Amino acid sequence: MTSTGSPGLIEGLGPLASRFDAYLLDQYGVLHDGQQLYPGVLDCLAALREAGKRVLILSNSGRRKQPNSERLARIGLPPELYDDFITSGEVAREALAEAPQDLLGQGGNGAPLRCLALGGAADRALLEGLDIAFVDDVGEADFMLLASFGDRLPAGDAFDETFAAAGERKLALVCANPDIKGIAGSGLHAAPGALAARYEKDGGRVVYVGKPHPLIYRAALAGLAPLAPGRVLAVGDSLAHDIAGAAAARLASAFVLNGIHRKDLGESPASPGFDDRLAALMREHRAEPDYLLPSLSW
């Protein structure tokens, strides 16, 4: 579903309750800032449950769904308030477990795939238990994985030599978090997608798993089947990921203003020049939401 005019401003999801039966909610910038829930989130999810709506959290987190769900519980959002938690990390793991050659575009020789985990321990944890061997030398790898930086942010040139060698060998980089920037209590920070984009810009092949790319939406809609896509609303704060991804999947979308684009847009839709700033951002990211939502509320 796409807009036919300017997106409409709504104060909460309540007015849309008759139009949609399921909601795909982004995590960072919509539910929380990495440290605490935003005001109104618990009441909104409780109201969605009370109304009998399906609620899936759809996140570009490169980690599996269990640690993400546990983190939400620690900051006050219990799993009873949503049906499932789908992360790009979990979808990437499933793809590498079930059909790695399809994902990587290479033939198999019967031996375990060898992975260079660029994120270190965090990336190794994502593939733990799979028939995939980890190597420390790009010359021995069949593919590279980047899912999470963990607690460290690499220097800008940290992987220059690795990427140069990988490019010569035409290795695929599986990026299980396409976000360019992430949101946290302290502000914005670099995310794995930015590093993957550098490899791609230099001619490397990147396989993105996560919004706005289709694999994660296929997983979400499969979990909602046989519900029609027209009855699903995607809610997110990133035009490039949440809103563009929803449009490609033929889903309606609500753009949360008080998220990753908050500084670009200004304090409120009533502030001078807001419409022009929004229009410029939509042109930049080639994405137009169906609705504007100041923050997640009912």
Domains, the chain, ranges and CATH?
A: 8-89+212-293 (3.40.50.1000), 103-208 (3.40.50.1000)
- Crossing angle between the packed helical segments 88-98 and 214-224, to the nearest 10 degrees: 90
Q: What is the pLDDT of residue 2?
A: 41
Q: Tell me the C-alpha distance between 284 and 216, whole Å.
A: 23
Residue with tokens 């997608």: 193
Q: Tell me the C-alpha distance between 166 and 181, whole Å.
A: 24
> Whose CA is closest to 162, among 134, 176, 192, 141?
141
Q: Tell me the C-alpha distance between 79 and 29, whole Å.
A: 19
Q: What is the pLDDT of residue 189?
A: 62
**What's the alpha-carbon Rg for the chain, to the nearest Å?**
19
Spatial neighbors of 267 by CB under 8 A, at least 6 apart, are none
Residue with tokens 């270190």: 120
pLDDT tens for the 298 residues of the chain, in order: 444 457 999 999 999 999 999 999 999 999 999 899 999 999 999 999 999 999 999 999 999 999 999 999 999 999 999 999 999 999 999 999 998 888 887 665 667 899 999 988 889 999 999 999 999 999 999 999 999 876 566 776 889 999 999 999 999 999 999 998 765 555 556 688 989 999 999 999 999 999 999 999 999 999 999 999 999 999 999 999 999 999 999 999 999 999 889 888 987 888 889 999 999 999 999 999 999 999 999 9
Note the pTM of the prediction, 2 decimals.
Answer: 0.91
Q: What is the pLDDT of residue 102?
A: 80
Q: What is the pLDDT of residue 1?
A: 40
Q: What is the pLDDT of residue 154?
A: 73
